Chains A and B, each alone.
Chain A
C-alpha cells in the first residue's frame, strides 16, 4: 500500500509521542495530528502503529490514561505523561541527539 508518510525510525515514534504529551494530555487522534503538525507533515502516524505504541507505553508506566470529552463532545481516552514518562523523554532526547549527531558526522565525513 503506497503511503505518503515517511517510515519512522525505530524508537522515534516513542520519542514523538512522549514529546507531544509533554505539552499536555491528548487523545489518539490529537496525538496523531499534533505529530503531523510539529514535523511539518513529514510523519503521519497511522492508527495501526499509534494504538499499539500507546498501549505498550501505558503498560510500561510512561503514560497514564483516563476517559474525557473531546472538542466534538465525544467520549475519548486521553493520555498524559507520568513522572516516569518525563524521565523517559529526557533519556530518549539524549539518545536521539547522540544518534543524530553520529549520523550527521557519518554523512559529512570525507
Chain B
C-alpha cells in the first residue's frame, strides 16, 4: 500500500507511461478482435475507441482510484489555481483585498468578543461569582449594600459558598519614598483575594485578626506602587510606612496582573476593612460594602436572591426607624460577574460584531458575483476540460480550490490586518474596562478566522459552480461566438446577489447614521458651562496636617489669591465638584416651613462647597438672585445657591430665592440666595439633577478642584499653578490635571468610538455595494454591447441607451434599498442602548441614509452606462 503510494507520488512518469500503454494495448486488442470478426482495420479502430469510451477518460478514472489520488488532484488543482491567479492579477487582488478587509474586521472584533464575553474571566470559578448590590428607590445615592446586610448574609446564608466585600476609594497621602503623593487604594475583607483566587506576589494576604476593628495597621502594596516608590525590592515586606498619619506594616505585594473586577476602583494598595463582626444598628456603624459572593455549585441565582431578600426581611424589625423609610421598596440585585463587568460595553461590541459580519457577507456576495461573471467567461475552458475527461465533481473541486486559495490569501491578509487593528480597538474601549488588556489573538480567534476564510471560499466558490451546472457544458463548445445571450438564470442569480448586498449595506448605513446623529446630539448638547480655556487640578489636603476647617479654609483662601495673581489668569475658583465629574458630597435636605418628613425621608441632594468666582469661571449663568461673594464666610449667615432643576423640583411655581432649606442633625436653616443654570454634572448622558452649592468656608471639604480660566497654554498654566501650590505647601499633592475640553472629550469618547467604528464599517459596506452594482452593470454592458450596437444602428439615441442602462441598475439598487430599510427598522432596535436622544426608527436618519445610497448607486451605474453610450455600432457589429 505504502509502496504504491510512494510509487504513485514519486515515479509519476513511469506510472503514467505504464497506464497509457496498458489502456492503449486494451484498445488495440479490442480492435484486433473486431478485425478478426471481419471489420476493416479503420472501422475496427473506431469501434474499439467508441466501446472504450475515451482513452483519456479511462485513464482519469484510474488516476482517481489510486491511493494518494486526492493529493495528486489537489496538487494539480492548486497548480492550476495559482496559474489562474497569476494570469488575472487584477481580479485576484480585488478578491483578496475584499476578503482581507472583511475577515480582518471580523477577526479584530471577534478577539474583543472573545476576551469580554467568551474567555474565562481571570478569577477562580468566575462563573459562580456574583456581584451583590442594592437599589434604594427613595435614596438612589446609596450605591451598595450596607455592612449590616453583608454581615447578615455572611453569617446566615446557606446557598453561598463564600461572601466577601470591599469598599470604595481610600485616598491617602504617602510621603515615604519621595515627594508627597495622593494615592488611591481600597479596603477589603481579609478573604477577598481568596475568593478571587489571587495569590500575593510577595508576602501574604491579610489575616482575619488584621481585619478586626482596632487591629494594628497593615497594608498590601499594588505592584505599580511597589515599583514606583519602593524600587521593587523584596525586602519591603515587613517594613512599616506611614499613610495619612497611621503607621502600617507592609504584609505583602499584589501581583502585577491584579485588577479589581470593579471597573473604577484603583489598586495602589489594599487595606483591611475592619468591619465590626456584630454590627449594632447605630448610624455611626453604617458602611457601604461592595459584595462579591461565590454560589455553591449547582445553586441557581434566583434561589440565592430569594434567600438574601428573606434574610434582610427577617432583621428589618431590628433596624432603626429611619432605615425603614430609607430602605422602603429596596431591591436586592445579584449580577453574574461577567455581566456586571461588561454590561455597558457588551451590547456595543455585539452590535459592531454583527456589523462586521454583514460587511464580510457583502464582500463575499461581491466576490461571488465576480466569480459568476468570470465563470461564464470561462465556460469554454470548462467545456474543454470536461471533454478531456474531467467529471463534474472534478471541475467543481477545481473551482472550489481556486476560490479557497483566494480566500486563504484573504484570510491570511485579514489576520494581519485584524491583529494590527487590535491596538486601535483597545484605544476605543473605556479605560476603566481592564478586561480590554486581555484582548489578543488566541487559538480560538485563529480558529474563527480560519473558519471565516473557509466559509468565504465555499460561499464564493459555490456561486460559479452553480452557474456552471446550469449551463450545459456540452452545448457550450458548439456555440460559435459570445454574441449569444446568456441563460436568464445567471442574470437572476447576479441580480439577487446585488440586491442582497445593497439591502445589507443599507442596514449598516442606517445604523451608522443613527450613531452619527446620536453623537451630534450629544456633542451639540449645552453642558451648561463654557469648557474653553479652563484648566482644572485636584488638590487634596492631608487630614493630619489640615485637621480643622479653619486650617483648610485658610489654605484655600491663600491658594485662590495667589492663583488669581498668576499673569494671564482671568479668573480662579475652587469647587468640591466639577461639571461631568460630579459633586463630592450628597446631603439630606428639607425645607423650612414644610411638615417634617419621616425620619430618613429627606432627599439626598448633591452639594459642593465652591468659591465666589466658581460660576463666573465656568460661565455657569446666574438666573436669579445673587452668586456668592467674599462676604460669605465661615461666620456669616448660612447661604446656598441652587440650580434650576432644584427650583423646578422643589419649588414648582414658587420663588425659591429667599426661602430656607434645612440640613444636618440640627436642621440648620440656610437661605437660598440665587439660582444658577443646570449643568450636566454627573456625565453627558444624565440630564441635570437638583444640585446645591455652598460657600466653601461654610461647607469645607478636604479635596477641591482648582479651576483657572486663562488665555495661556495648558503647559504654561499647569507649571505656574503647580508652582503656586508648592509655594504654599511643598508636600501638597496635585493630580488629575485636565482642561474642561479634555473632560468633555472624555465624556463623549464612548459615543465617538461607537460612531467611528460603525461609520468605518458602514462606509466599507457602502463601497463594496457600490462596487457590486458597478460590476454587475459593467458586466451587463459588456455582454450586451452587441445588442446596444444594433439598437444604436437602428436609431436609438444615446440618452435612450443611457436611460436603459441606468434604469436597469437603479431598479436593483432601489429594491435593495427598500428591503434594507425594512431590515433596518427591525435591526436598529438592537442598538437602542447605544443611541442618545434619538429613536432607532428616526425617519430623518433613515431617509437621509437612503438618499445617500441612491446617490452612490447612481454614480456606480453611471460610469458603465457612459461606456455603453460610447459604443460605436460599427465596431461592435464587426467584432467577431
B71: Cβ under 8 A from any A Cβ: no
Residue of B nearest to A30 (CB): B29
B65 contacts partner chain A, Cβ-Cβ < 8 Å: yes
Q: Are the CB atoms of A74 and B66 closer together than 8 Å?
A: no
Which residues of chain A are near B32, meaning CB under 8 Å?
72, 74
CB interface residues, A 53-110, toward B, < 8 Å: 53, 55-56, 58-61, 70, 72, 74-77
Q: Does B67 contact A (CB under 8 A)?
A: yes
Q: Quick one: which of B58, B64, B65 contacts A47, CB cutoff 8 A?
A: B58
0/1 string, B3-31, CB within 8 A of A gives 1: 01100000000000011011101101110
If A28-B26, A29-B30, A77-B18 touch, whether A48 touches B1 (CB-CB below 8 Å) is no
Residues of A within 8 A of B64 (CB): 52
Q: Are A48 and B4 in contact (CB under 8 A)?
A: no
Q: Are A59 and B61 in contact (CB under 8 A)?
A: no
Which residues of A are found within 8 Å of B57, using beta-carbon distances?
A: 48
CB-CB under 8 A from A74, the residues of chain B are 25, 28-29, 32
CA separation between A32 and B22, bound complex, in Å?
Answer: 14
Closest A residue, CB atoms, query B18 = A77
User: How many Å lie between the Cα of A102 and that of B52 in the bound state?
Assistant: 36
Question: Could you tell me if B22 and A28 are in contact, using CB atoms closer than 8 angstroms?
Answer: yes
Of chain B, the residue at the smallest CB distance from A53 is B65
Cβ–Cβ contact A29 & B26, under 8 A: yes
Residues from chain B with a CB closer than 8 A to the CB of A77 are 18, 21-22, 25
Counting chain A CB atoms within 10 Å of each CB, the highest count among B4, B18, B26 belongs to B26
Total number of A-B contacts with CB less than 8 angstroms? 65
In the bound assembly, the distance between CA atoms of A28 and B26 in angstroms comes to 7
Q: How far is the CA of A60 from the CA of B18 in the complex (A)?
A: 18
**Which residue of A29, A59, A60 contacts B29 across the interface (Cβ within 8 Å)?**
A29
The residue from B1, B25, B29, B62 contacting A61, defined by CB atoms under 8 A apart: B1
User: With A and B bound together, what is the CA distance between A27 and B1 in angstroms?
Assistant: 22
Q: Which residues of B contact A60 (CB under 8 A)?
A: 1
Asked if A51 meets B22 with Cβ closer than 8 Å, knowing A29-B33, A70-B29, A72-B32, the reply is yes
Question: What is the CA–CA distance of A29 and B721 in the complex, to the nearest angstrom?
Answer: 104
Name the residue of chain B whose CB is nearest to the CB of A1.
Answer: B53
Q: Are B1 and A59 in contact (CB under 8 A)?
A: yes
Q: Which single member of A27, A47, A76 contacts B52 (CB below 8 Å)?
A: A47
List of A residues within 8 angstroms of B61 by Cβ: 48-49, 51-52
Chain B residues within an 8 Å CB radius of A53? 65
Tell me whether B30 and A51 are in contact (CB under 8 A): no
Q: In the complex, what distance in Å separates the CA atom of A61 from the CA atom of B1? A: 7
**A52, B67: Cα distance in complex, Å:** 11
How far apart are the CA atoms of A58 and B5 in the complex, in Å? 12
Question: Is A46 on the interface with B (CB-CB < 8 A)?
Answer: yes
Complex CA gap A60/B67 in Å reads: 10
Q: Which residues of B contact A76 (CB under 8 A)?
A: 22, 25-26, 29
CB distance from B57 to the nearest CB of A (A): 7
CB pair A27–B65 under 8 Å, yes or no, is no
Q: B19: which A residues are within 8 A, CB to CB?
A: 51, 55
Nearest neighbor of B33 in chain A, beta-carbon distance? A29
Nearest neighbor of A49 in chain B, beta-carbon distance: B61
Please measure, in the bound complex, the distance between the C-alpha atom of A51 and the C-alpha atom of B32, giving whole angstroms: 19
Binary per-residue interface labels of chain B (43-62) against chain A in the complex, 1 for a CB within 8 Å, 0 otherwise:
00000000011000110011
List A residues 1-49 near B (Cβ within 8 Å): 27-29, 46-49
Interface pair B29/A46, CB less than 8 Å apart: no
With beta carbons under 8 angstroms apart, the residue of A29, A51, A58, A59 that contacts B58 is A51
**Are B25 and A70 closer than 8 Å at their CB atoms?**
yes
Cα distance A51–B53 in the bound complex, in angstroms: 13
Q: Which residues of B contact A49 (CB under 8 A)?
A: 61
Partner of A56, one of B22, B26, B28, B65: B65
Q: Collect the chain B residues with CB atoms within 8 Å of residue A61's CB.
A: 1
Known: A52-B64, A77-B25. 20 other contacts (CB 8 A): A28-B22, A46-B53, A47-B58, A48-B53, A48-B61, A49-B61, A51-B23, A51-B26, A51-B61, A52-B65, A55-B65, A59-B4, A59-B5, A61-B1, A70-B29, A76-B22, A76-B29, A77-B18, A77-B21, A77-B22
17 contacts between A and B (CB under 8 A): A28-B26, A29-B29, A47-B23, A48-B57, A48-B58, A52-B64, A53-B65, A55-B65, A55-B66, A58-B4, A59-B4, A61-B1, A72-B29, A74-B25, A74-B28, A76-B25, A76-B29
4 nearest A-B pairs in the assembled complex, by CB-CB distance: A52-B65, A59-B4, A72-B32, A77-B22
